[in-house]
Copies of this chain bind each other. A is one copy, B any other.
Amino acid sequence: MFQIPDHQVAGHKASKGIIGPLIDNSGRFYKPLQSNNRGSKEESFYKKFSSNTEIPNHIRKFFPTYYGTQHIEASDGSGQHPHLVLEDIVSVRTNPSLMDIKMGSRTWYPTASQAYIVKCFKKDSESTSPNLGFRISGFRVYGNEDSGYWKPERNNVAGFDTNDVRIALRKFVSSNSNDLDGESDCAFVQNVYGGPNGVLAQLLMLKKWFEDQTLFHFYSCSVLMVYEKIKPNEDRSCVTIKLIDFAHVVDGQGVIDHNFLGGLCSLIKFVSEILDN
C-alpha cells in the first residue's frame, strides 16, 4: 500500500536503513516525525495552523492539507513510527518538474541553542542564503518522454552561487534543460512564471500576507514550485506553490517574519527579471 515517492529533490529520502517519507495511492504523503523534537514541533505547527481561523483561504492553499498523525510501518523497517499525514503535492501529477527553495537569509531562530546556531551559520554561509535571502535545495526538470528528467547532483546544488541560481531558475522553465552547454531557451517562462496564476502572481500573493502576518516565523522552511509541461503556447497554467518543512517554525510574537519576507522579495526579483528578459 505504501511506497517511496520518486520525486523528492531535497531532504532525507527513504532507503534501506534510512527512514523517509512514504506515499499511498490515494494522494496522501506520510512524513515520519523527525527526532530531536523536530517532528513534534512540525506536528504542533500543522495543528495550530489547521485550526487557526485567522488564515485566509487564499493563503491556506499555499500549505499542504494536514490529515492528522498516524502510526504506520516506517520505511526503514524499524517498525511502527508516527507520521504526519499530508496532502501529496507531487506524486499525484504525471511528469512534475519541481524545485525546492529554502527561504530566509538565516535558517536558525534567535532562541536556538548556540551549537545549532553555529552549525546553521556555517551551512548558511557556504550557500547563497546570506547573499540572496534564499538557496535552492534541489530541483528536477522534466524534458520529454525520451529524455525523462534532468536533475543536478545534490552536491552541485549545494555549491550554487548567485549566477548558478539565475541559471537554475531559467533551466527550470526551459525545454532544453538537458543541454548542459547551450543557453536555456526559457520556452515555458510565460506559462510557469507569468500569467494570473503563475509563480510570480502566487509569490506576490504570499508576499502580501507576509508583510502583515505576525503569527509564525518560518525558519528553514521551503517554497516548493511544481508544474507540468504543456505546450508552450497553450494558455493554461498548472503551477503549484507550497510551503513545506515546518520543524523550525516559531511563534511570531506580534512581529513579521522579515527573514522569510526579505528572501521572498529577493526571489520575486529573480523571477521578475527572467520574465522581463
Listed residue (A212, A214, A269) with the most chain B CB atoms within 10 angstroms of its CB? A269
How would residues 233 to 267 of chain A score, 1 for a CB under 8 Å from any chain B CB and 0 otherwise?
A: 00000000000000000000111101101110110
Chain A interface category by residue count: 20 to 34
Residues from chain B with a CB closer than 8 A to the CB of A131 are: 110, 255
Query: Is A76 positioned at the interface, with any CB of B under 8 Å from its CB?
Result: no
The smallest beta-carbon distance between A115 and chain B, in angstroms, is 15
The smallest beta-carbon distance between A69 and chain B, in angstroms, is 31
Taking Cβ atoms with an 8 Å cutoff, the residues of A that contact B are 105-106, 110, 125, 130-133, 162, 211-212, 214, 253-256, 258-259, 261-263, 265-266, 268-269
State A263–B258 Cα separation when bound (angstroms).
6
State A214–B270 Cα separation when bound (angstroms).
11
Q: Quick one: which of B105, B132, B269 contacts A211, CB cutoff 8 A?
A: B269
In the complex, are the beta carbons of A162 and B258 less than 8 A apart?
Answer: no
Residues from chain B with a CB closer than 8 A to the CB of A212 are: 269
> Closest 6 A-B residue pairs measured CB to CB?
A262-B262, A258-B262, A133-B258, A258-B266, A110-B130, A256-B269
Listed residue (A132, A253, A258, A269) with the most chain B CB atoms within 10 angstroms of its CB? A258
Residues from chain B with a CB closer than 8 A to the CB of A253 are: 162
20 A-B contact pairs sorted by A residue (CB < 8 Å): A105-B258, A106-B130, A110-B125, A132-B258, A133-B258, A133-B259, A162-B255, A211-B265, A211-B268, A214-B269, A255-B266, A256-B265, A256-B266, A258-B262, A258-B263, A258-B265, A259-B262, A261-B261, A261-B265, A262-B265
